[in-house]
Amino acid sequence: MRTVIFDLDGTLADTSGDLLAAANACFREMGHGDVLTQAQDAGVALRGGRMMLTTGLKRVGQYSEALVNQYYPVLLEAYRSDIDRYTVLYPGAMEAVSELKQRGMAVGICTNKPEALAEQLLLSLGVRGAFGSLVGADTLPVRKPDPAPLVEAARRAGGDPAQTVLIGDSDTDRNTSANAGLPSILVTFGPSGEDMAALKPEGLLSQFSDLPDLVDQVLAAYLGS
């Protein structure tokens, strides 16, 4: 069965506002106030908690790996306690998922967000049941860009890992698919959208309404059918 696996943050949903709020809670606790802003750091947020802490601490001249490690659990707890205040699904995302399933494809999620937080967020957004699998950063001993989580997400979704395309928004997603020998489609509507073409994915997506046909085209080319 052909399979479509989605990244979560920056691909299916704009989670940057809640992620930045959790990071700024840490910076306030350190005495720095709100260091990160939506306008400047939305792209940083979508690269994860450690990247936000690293970026903010360097900005205030206080960076150390030890401080990042100390506050990472604090950030996760702040995020867990207020995970969906600002988060929204991108327009047309779930309609595209529904259409892919109607076309006989399996769908799942492979994210570098901790699995429990991804599960919590998807349940809160009311869309967990639409996806046949969820593989997070800590589901396996390795995480993206290692190909194993992508392959496992396809398998758990009931699909064929050899007929899978990854939908993502970053070089991590591009490298994951490449490491698995699989195609990727990168979205251009996120904070780093203008950089996606340079990664040379098999497809670029500007709006979700185009996704079902684009998946058909990319998988047909990849599978030679």
Contact yes or no for 12/90 (Cβ under 8 A): yes
Show the tokens assigned to 39.
């306008």
Tell me which DSSP letter residue 182 carries.
Answer: -
Question: What are the pLDDT tens digits along the chain (225 aa)?
Answer: 999 999 999 999 999 999 999 999 999 999 999 999 999 999 999 889 999 999 999 999 999 999 999 999 999 999 999 999 999 999 999 999 999 999 999 999 999 999 999 999 999 999 999 999 999 999 999 999 999 999 999 999 999 999 999 999 999 999 999 999 999 999 999 888 888 999 999 999 999 999 999 999 999 999 996
Confirm whether 41 is a catalytic residue: no
The two tokens of residue 214 are 């684009």
What pLDDT score was predicted for residue 191?
Answer: 82
3-state secondary structure of 134: strand
**Token output for 31:** 């005495």
Q: What pLDDT sits at residue 138?
A: 97
Note the pLDDT of residue 225: 66
pLDDT of residue 61: 97
Instruction: Indicate the Cα dihedral angle 56, 62, 63, 66, nearest 10°.
Output: -120
pTM comes to 0.95
Residue 168, SS3 per DSSP: strand
Selection from 84, 86, 9, 21 nearest residue 52 by Cα: 21
**Cβ proximity of 132 and 111 under 8 Å:** no
Note the CATH number of domain 3-14+88-223.
Answer: 3.40.50.1000
Q: What pLDDT does residue 132 have?
A: 98
The answer for residues whose C-beta is within 8 angstroms of residue 149's C-beta and 6 or more apart is 110, 135, 139, 140, 142, 143, 176
Q: CB-side exposure of 130: number of CA atoms within 13 Å? A: 20
Contact 183, 204 (CB under 8 A): no
Residues shown for the chain: 225
